Chains A and B, each alone.
Chain A
Amino acid sequence: EPEVTQTPSHQVTQMGQEVILRCVPISNHLYFYWYRQILGQKVEFLVSFYNNEISEKSEIFDDQFSVERPDGSNFTLKIRSTKLEDSAMYFCASGPDRNTEAFFGQGTRLTVV
């Protein structure tokens, strides 16, 4: 069964450093998403991406965040200067169209120290 894959599974970084979280969405999906979940809290939407551009973003997705689809398979989330409060599980998701469910990857646990 096709799945969304994310790497790395766990990333530890120092405050102020840049991190890139990588995702390979399901191959025939057109809509891509990043969500995050701070430990013990709800899943929060960050950004959605369609047709090589951001289609919507939340208040959380400020200038320190960016997304890119550098080739036909990868979808990345970059955090330019990490803060302690960026520590969370980051989930990539993809969907075949905008009206159906999103399939989530296993997540990258980001720890900022």
Chain B
Amino acid sequence: GQNIDQPTEMTATEGAIVQINCTYQTSGFNGLFWYQQHAGEAPTFLSYNVLDGLEEKGRFSSFLSRSKGYSYLLLKELQMKDSASYLCAVRVMDTGRRALTFGSGTRLQVQP
């Protein structure tokens, strides 16, 4: 099976930088995704990593180390609207399964 761990809650200040970590144990790893989910809304795609390294997209960056089973999402210049849950999800390719397995999410609270 797959196991995905991320902190339950984090708090940060508007304008600051925050790093949300995700560790996973899987077989047949085939990519890691980060989604943002505001309360009562659908997950929205943020980033995708399949190779080691950093992917940057505006204020958001995501890093992956496959050998360590580790990823982080970095949010810069935090805004109040960034208060949301951040979901780490992995795609695994064993027995042809390709659907995403989600972690429990990290609830980020941005304070003024």
Is the CB of A98 closer than 8 A to any CB of chain B? yes
Contacts of A41 in B (CB 8 A): 104
Q: Spot the interface stretch: B9-17, B41-49, B61-69.
A: B41-49
B87 CB contacts on chain A under 8 angstroms: 42-43
B97 at the interface (CB under 8 A from A): yes
Contact of A56 among B31, B45, B99, B103 (CB under 8 A): B99
State whether the Cβ of A75 lies closer than 8 Å to any Cβ in chain B.
Answer: no
A contact residues around B104 at 8 Å (CB): 41-42
Q: Which bracket fits the contact residues of B?
A: 20 to 34
Which of the segments A12-20, A63-71, A99-107 contacts the partner chain? A99-107
Give the tally of cross-chain contacts (CB within 8 A): 49
Quick check: is A48 within 8 A (CB to CB) of the other chain?
A: yes
Closest Cβ of chain A: how far from B104's Cβ, in Å?
A: 5
CB-CB < 8 A to B89: which residues of A? 43
Which residue of the partner chain A has the closest CB to B45? A101
Q: How far is the CA of A58 from the CA of B97 in the complex (A)?
A: 10
Decide if A98 touches B98 in the complex (CB within 8 Å).
yes
